[in-house]
Amino acid sequence: MGKNKIDAIGVLTPGGDAPGMNTAIRAVVRTAIFHNLRVYGIHKGWHGLITGQINPMDIKSVGGIINRGGTILHTHRCPEFRDPKLRAVAYKNLDEYGIDGVVVIGGDGSLAAANIVAKETDFHMVHIPASIDNDISCTDYTIGFDTAVNTALDAVDKIRDTAASHERVFVIEVMGRKHGILALEVGLVCGAEEIIIPEAKFNINKIADKINEGRERGKTSFIIVVAEGAISGAEFGKKLQKKLKRIKVRVSVLGHIQRGGSPTAISRELACKMGAKAVESIIAHRGSVMMAARSEYICAVPFKEVLKKKKRADLDHLRLAEMLSI
Ligand code: F6P
């Protein structure tokens, strides 16, 4: 399966960006050059592959980006990639540039699309999981997750200062699409009094009682981290304010700030290792595989295996956070 001789590879970053994508692009480009391959940057994700926005990359084109957030290749949500006719155009473009293998750096949507390409063609497809949501199975972490957790943590710590000064309750909405993995991690490490995630039910009366009891004990601030996939911060804030007569509730939506910024050391390390291993997996004809972080090792896991499983928030972490935030 797959093209026999590897002369050139392409790299793209479809879907939502994540801090560390640039570090991964750098690793892919430099590893490819080290192994005497030509390497092409495909701009704006799958959309750029369809429209032929493909440019050669060299050592210099990835200089000075190891620490930069976002993606120099830009990105684009591309529902039109579902159209087989447009995918045929994309495949023709890959052939025109003599590209034999493609490294796709992105989230679960990009993985699903890469799997379709792998099934329909003989291009070597490798996926590098990069998403602030950390919602991809078979890997402990995705590139960008640690950075987003730290960005959110920094914001919550600051909000805690003003919450304590005014003796208020703050509801803080965190991203994560339909998963609570990011919110749970942020809630645990910021010492949130409550964490609301789609994977667990909440009882607004019990939460209000806990806040009232805490206030009687002299607790000044309450932080409630809400995953956007569970309920909007605004809606939760309204429900809670109705139950709390004497305590003011404020809502803060962290939003896209969580997707930006310079990647942390952990996000960069993952990106360096996964980027290099992705290219070497193509050269070694490993098939359609995703790079996966397990303990401190990077493994190559077949697409089939990754797509079979669903990652879920670890409810033991929720219990731990509850126990520690009384
Ligand atoms: O998947 C990453 C993510 O940031 C999610 O956490 C969020 O729900 C979504 O992307 C937002 O997407 P967009 O920037 O397209 O609104």
**Residue 226 identity:** V
**Local confidence band at 3 (pLDDT 50, 70, 90 cut-offs):** confident
- The arithmetic mean of pLDDT across residues 251-272, rounded, is 98
- The arithmetic mean of pLDDT across residues 269-292, rounded, is 97
Q: Cβ(26)–Cβ(65) under 8 Å?
A: yes
| Minimum CA distance residue for ligand 1 atom 9 | 177
* pLDDT tens sequence across 282-318: 999 999 999 999 988 999 999 999 999 999 999 999 9
Q: Which two tokens stand for residue 212?
A: 């009232």
Share of the chain above pLDDT 70, in %: 99
Active site residue 209: no
What does the radius of gyration of the chain's CA atoms come to, in whole angstroms? 22
Rounded distance from Cα 268 to ligand 1 centre (Å): 21
| pLDDT given at position 296 | 82
Mean pLDDT of the chain, nearest integer: 97
Half-sphere exposure of residue 112, counting CA atoms within 13 Å on the CB side? 11
| 8-144+263-307 CATH pick, 3.40.470.10, 3.40.50.450, 3.40.50.300, 3.20.20.70 | 3.40.50.450
| pLDDT given at position 295 | 86
Rounded distance from Cα 167 to ligand 1 centre (Å): 32
Domains 8-144+263-307 and 147-259 fall in the same CATH topology: yes
Over 70: is that where the pLDDT of 166 sits? yes
Distance between CA 168 and CA 220 in Å, rounded? 7
**Local confidence band at 326 (pLDDT 50, 70, 90 cut-offs):** confident
Write down the architecture of domain 147-259 according to CATH.
3-Layer(aba) Sandwich (3.40)
| pLDDT given at position 285 | 95
3-state DSSP assignment of residue 208: helix
Would you call 267 exposed, middle or buried from its count of C-beta atoms within 10 A (0-12, 13-18, 19+)?
Answer: buried
| Minimum CA distance residue for ligand 1 atom 12 | 16
The domain segmentation of the chain, as residue ranges, is 8-144+263-307, 147-259
| Minimum CA distance residue for ligand 1 atom 1 | 16
In the set 17, 133, 135, 146, the catalytic residue is 133
Over 70: is that where the pLDDT of 109 sits? yes
Distance between CA 54 and CA 47 in Å, rounded? 11
Q: Which residues line ligand 1 (CB under 6 A)?
A: 16, 77, 107, 131-133, 175-177, 228, 259
State phi, psi for 288 to the nearest 5 degrees: -85, 105
* Ligand 1 atom, smallest distance to 132 CA: 2
Core vs surface per residue 31-63: b (16+ CB within 10 A) or e: bbbeeebbbbbbbbbbbbbbbebbeebeeeebe
| pLDDT given at position 22 | 98
| pLDDT given at position 5 | 87
* Ligand 1 atom, smallest distance to 175 CA: 6
Identify the helix (H) or strand (E) that includes residue 140.
Answer: none
- The arithmetic mean of pLDDT across residues 150-160, rounded, is 98
Over 70: is that where the pLDDT of 240 sits? yes
Q: Which two tokens stand for residue 177?
A: 């699409």
**Local confidence band at 1 (pLDDT 50, 70, 90 cut-offs):** low
Q: Hey, which of 151, 175, 226 would you mutate to test ligand 1's pocket, going by the most ligand atoms within 8 Å of its Cβ?
A: 175
- Give all strands of the β-sheet with 289-294 in edge-to-edge order: 54-56, 38-42, 8-12, 101-106, 124-129, 289-294, 297-302
**Local confidence band at 139 (pLDDT 50, 70, 90 cut-offs):** very high
| Minimum CA distance residue for ligand 1 atom 13 | 16
Q: What is the 3-state secondary structure (H, E, C) of 33-80?
A: HHCCCEEEEECCHHHHHHHCCEEECCCHHHCCCCCCCCCCCCCCCCHH
Q: Hey, which of 133, 147, 226 would you mutate to test ligand 1's pocket, going by the most ligand atoms within 8 Å of its Cβ?
A: 133
pTM exceeds cut of 0.95: yes
